[in-house]
Structure 1
């Protein structure tokens, strides 16, 4: 029975994609601790960066398969958790007692202290969203093999980002100061709409990157 083609995650490209995705997730979690008001729209400081994590996830899933994508999600989960532990250690370490250092220590505690709640929200959202995203990508490729890549990207992105955003916003909203139902709905709809629109906008680039890696990936073959 014919099977869809995937490459070995032992290649030189997979670790680069995995690293970028993990770093983006960590930075997005830090940025998401800040509430942002852009005219009538409510969002957070990580809004411009997070779609890149899903783009990396799409590329990994399409080229290396669901197992490699799941590994990337787990690594991102573990490293984000490690970052939270490090932040708490930074905050708890005794600092200098001069006026500037006390102000710096307080600012660090205010900035990084709540990040663990953002990370929990981000991890659960990313876990649910990326698993959904990868599942749709893989099953779409089983049906269509190398064809209809754009359709796979659009469908997986739409569903995955909605799942991610609803989970994330439900937990993170109170952390960044959102208190009303109207603000929450604004935050959730803007978040999902922006992420989906951003990924749709770069699909022409994503497809070219995927095609370029497939051509240069010697292990890309039928499994």
Structure 2
């Protein structure tokens, strides 16, 4: 029988802040750097496949979300999601402000730098809005499914939760982002194909990295001495209150 205690304050955790920082860093890099480059790879039987470079690393932010939810619970993952959302809003506003500031005519390098900044960071308002909405909906869907499945499975079969939550979260993300960003620009058939391909690739990244997720979760539960079950948690996104029941492993 496991001992239970009320949710502990965030300052009691040694690794929580570092995980949040890592999640935000991956999120910002995949959204600000990755989308600027389209990659093409040739695979046996499938031929040439094109995808945004950010799609290779964006799923890592979902792995951070899985780890945070599994170890610390939905409420603390919720804090991390809001931190990521705030960082994305700030980065979007900052990049737009810098692009629109008048470049000094006395600096010759600006003639090369300004077009480059506009090309890399000058996303249209539709793409910026789509990224924010898709991230918010997708990450909360991922964390919700992860937490609920942990209760259903009574903490067993972690792989079902990590993959199952990613199937839902990445599906919500892709189904939200591409229609908002490209409806009326791309043909409907193209949007469907891109959604299907990117969703599949993101889920495969999660599957491949499942052993790493197991290792990190095991390490954190052991070092933090905690394993959170969201019993009685209010699964609203609009709260920063600590909730969930902390179980002490091995007792």
Could you state the TM-score of these two structures normalised by the residue count of structure 1? 0.87
Cα–Cα, structure 1 residues 137 and 84, in superposed 2: closer, same or farther, change >3 Å?
same
* 1:209 alignment partner in structure 2: 216
Give 2:155's match in structure 1, choosing from 140, 146, 154.
Answer: 146
Q: Is residue 118–residue 172 contact of structure 1 (8 Å, CA) maintained in 2? A: yes
Q: State how far apart, in whole Å, the 2-side matches of 1:30 and 1:82 are.
A: 12
Higher share of residues assigned helix: 1
Q: Which residue of 1 aligns with 2:38?
A: 36
Relative distance call for 1:4 and 1:114 in structure 2 (3 A) is: farther
- Per the TM alignment, residue 13 of structure 1 is displaced from its structure 2 partner at its CA by 0.8
**TM-score between the two structures when normalised by the length of structure 2:** 0.78
User: Alignment partner of 2:57: what SS?
Assistant: coil
Question: For 1:66-85, what aligned pairs fall within 5 Å after superposition?
Answer: 66-85=74-93
Partner of 2:97: 89
SS at match of 1:46: helix
Q: Is the 8 A contact 1:41 1:186 kept in 2?
A: no
Q: CA RMSD in A?
A: 2.6
Distance in 2, Cα, partners of 1:3 & 1:202: 31
Structure 1 residue 143 displacement after superposition: 2.5
Q: Structure 1 3/135 Cα, relative in aligned 2: closer, same or farther at 3 Å? A: farther
**What is the CA–CA distance in structure 2 between the aligned matches of 1:4 and 1:159, rounded to whole Å?**
30
Any unmatched runs of 5+ in structure 2?
42-47, 228-245
Question: CA distance change for structure 1 residues 59 and 205 in 2, over 3 Å: closer, same or farther?
Answer: same
Question: Unaligned regions of 5+ residues in structure 1, if any?
Answer: none
- Matching of residue 187 in structure 1 with residue 188 in structure 2: no
- Aligned mate of 1:111, from 100, 120, 139: 120
Cross-structure match for 1:25: 27
